Structure 1
Amino acid sequence: MKALVFVGLKPGVLDPQGRAIARSLNDLGFDEVTNAFQGKVIELDIEANDPEVVKGRVTEMCEKLLANTVIESYRIEIQA
């Protein structure tokens, strides 16, 4: 199975990389961009057959390593 973990900053946390991206896009003529948010996607290949078990294990991984839960939130997608 494959697990995708999307990690991004929680609302209210400053995102200087996102602001720099938005500003640079505006400088390149993409004036319609009003804001950008920088995050990360982590793709995991997992040997298991039960999606609920995989989701539980990946949640543990996020809480222990993959996301800084003080300032980041995460979303998990499981693909068969």
Structure 2
Amino acid sequence: MARVVVDVMLKPEILDPQGQAVANALPRLGVVDVASVRIGKRIEIEFEGAPDLDRAREIADKLLANPVIEEFTLRVEAPGEEEQR
């Protein structure tokens, strides 16, 4: 299965209250070197066969992101590739 990852973020000019709340809480945890935090969402779309970036872009544009306040990026994630924690 091929996986396309869609990352949706608020546009830079849009206020991010969640990100601001996290940034304001960091000093209480002893983290003082973070300038700002932005919160977004990650959506994984699995295709049977080859990844269809055009279809994924259409899905993201019409359903997953609000084009007025959000922007998105697409990337193909290789099988077995996962983010490290």
Say whether the fold is shared (TM-score over 0.5). yes
Gaps in structure 1 of 5+ consecutive residues:
none
Q: Given the two structures, how large is their TM-score scaled by the length of structure 1? A: 0.89
Identity percentage of aligned residues: 43
User: Tell me, what secondary structure is at the counterpart of 1:18?
Assistant: helix
Q: For residues 43-80 of structure 1, give each alpha carbon's deviation from its aligned partner in whole angstroms, at most 9, with x where no partner exists.
A: 1111132x4xx110001001110111110000000135
For 2:25, the equivalent position in structure 1 comes to 24
For 2:45, the equivalent position in structure 1 comes to 44
Q: Does 1:71 align with 2:72?
A: no
Q: Given the two structures, how large is their TM-score scaled by the length of structure 2? A: 0.84
Number of equivalenced pairs: 77
Quick one: which amino acid aligns to residue 33 of structure 1?
Answer: V
The structure with the largest helix share of the pair is 1
Gaps in structure 2 of 5+ consecutive residues:
79-85
**Structure 1 consecutive aligned stretches of length 4 or more whose deviation exceeds 4 Å:** none
Q: For residues 9-59 of structure 1, give each alpha carbon's deviation from its aligned partner in whole angstroms, at most 9, with x where no partner exists.
A: 01110000000011111221101111000001001111132x4xx110001
User: Tell me, what secondary structure is at the counterpart of 1:30?
Assistant: coil
